[in-house]
Amino acid sequence: MEEVSRGEGPAGTRPRDLPAELGIKPSGRVHIPDSLGEGLTGGTAGEATVEDPVFSCKDVNVFYGAKQALNGVTVDIARRQVLACIGPSGCGKSTFLRCLNRMNDTIPGARVTGTITLDGQDIHDKQMDVARLRARIGMVFQRPNPFPKSIYDNVAYGPRIHKLTRSRADLDELVFTSLQRAGLWGEVKDRLGTLGTGLSGGQQQRLCIARALAVQPEVILMDEPCSALDPIATARIEDLIEELRESYAIVIVTHSMQQAARVSQRTAYFHLGSLAEVGPTDRVFTNPKHRLTEDYITGRFG
C-alpha cells in the first residue's frame, strides 16, 4: 500500500465545480455492474494517513453474520477537515460511519475487528464509556429525525442527559449557541416552544445538526444529510459544513460527487466493502490513482 503522510493537505482548496470533461452524471445511486463484481486487489491507493489524526482506523473489518461488509479498511480522519465517503450503493459507506461511534454494536449479528482510535484511545477498550463516546461523535442521518418535542427540548435533550449544564441559564445559552451555529436561530427564536417536527425539512435537518452540536462533539458524522432536501436547503447545509469544519472533523457520506467536491478536503472511494482510494479531494477527482475510482467518477458505472 502506498502511504504518504501529510498534514492539512490542500486545506482551503475547495473545488466548486468538477472539470466538465469528466462527464460526471448527476447525483444518484450507482450500482456496480456484475462485470466489476470481483473484489479488490492491491490495497488502498492514495494517502491513507495524516499527521495527528482525530480517528485512526487500522485493518477494520465488519461482518453481518457470515457476510463481510467491510474489508481491511485503514484510514485516518484529520482534524478540522471534511472527509467525503463516496462509492456505489452497498459498498459499505454507512457501515464504515457506524464503526466510528460503535453504532454497529447495536445491530444484532454485527461484528467489528481491527483497531480504531479516537485521539489515540482505542474505542473498543473495555474502559471506554460507549454513551460518552457517542456523545463525542455527533451523527446526522439521511432523513431529519427531530424528536416529537419542542425545538428547545430537541436541542436541550443531549445536554440534559449528559448533565452538561448546571443551571437553566447555562442550558438556555447552550441551546442558543447550538441553534446559532446551525444557522437556525433567526428562523426559530420566536417559536422555541413549538414542535421541532413542525419545521420544514431543511430546518429540521439544521435542528438535528444543532442537537448534535449541543453535546459539544469532536467529530460529526453525516450519512447523506442532504438527500431528502431541495437544492436551497442543500446549499445551506453545505455552507454550514464549511463553517463547522473550522471547529470539527466531519465525515460525510454522499451520493453526489459534486457535493463531495464542494464540501470536502479529502475523499474516500469505497468499492465492494474495500477502501479503493483515499486522498485530497482535488487530486482524487482530477487524477485518481485507482482505475475503479476513475470509472466511478467518470460515470462509467450505472
Would you tell me which residues interact with ligand ATP (CB under 6 A)? 64, 69, 87, 89-95, 107
Binds 259: which of Mg ion, ligand ATP, none (CB < 5-8 Å by kind): none
Identify which of residues 94 and 150 has a Cβ nearer to Mg ion in the complex: 94
For Mg ion, which stretch binds (CB under 5 A), given 18-26, 56-64, 90-98, 122-130?
Answer: 90-98
Query: Could you say which of 56, 94, 154, 234 contacts Mg ion (CB under 5 A)?
Result: 94
Identify which of residues 103 and 171 has a Cβ nearer to Mg ion in the complex: 103
Binds 90: which of Mg ion, ligand ATP, none (CB < 5-8 Å by kind): ligand ATP
Binds 91: which of Mg ion, ligand ATP, none (CB < 5-8 Å by kind): ligand ATP
Binds 301: which of ligand ATP, Mg ion, none (CB < 5-8 Å by kind): none
Smallest distance, ligand ATP to C-beta of residue 190, A:
37
Residue type, 249: A
Identify which of residues 29 and 191 has a Cβ nearer to Mg ion in the complex: 29
Q: For Mg ion, which residue has the nearest CB?
A: 94
**256 counts as binding Mg ion under rule CB under 5 A:** no
Smallest distance, ligand ATP to C-beta of residue 226, A:
14
Residues 6+ apart with CB under 8 A from 277: 44, 45, 46, 268, 269, 284, 288, 289, 290, 292, 293
Give the residue from 219, 194, 218 showing the smallest Cα distance to 207: 194
Identify which of residues 48 and 272 has a Cβ nearer to ligand ATP in the complex: 272
Smallest distance, Mg ion to C-beta of residue 89, A:
8
Smallest distance, ligand ATP to C-beta of residue 233, A:
20
For Mg ion, which stretch binds (CB under 5 A), given 89-97, 125-133, 157-165, 265-273?
Answer: 89-97
Binds 107: which of Mg ion, ligand ATP, none (CB < 5-8 Å by kind): ligand ATP
Smallest distance, Mg ion to C-beta of residue 240, A:
21
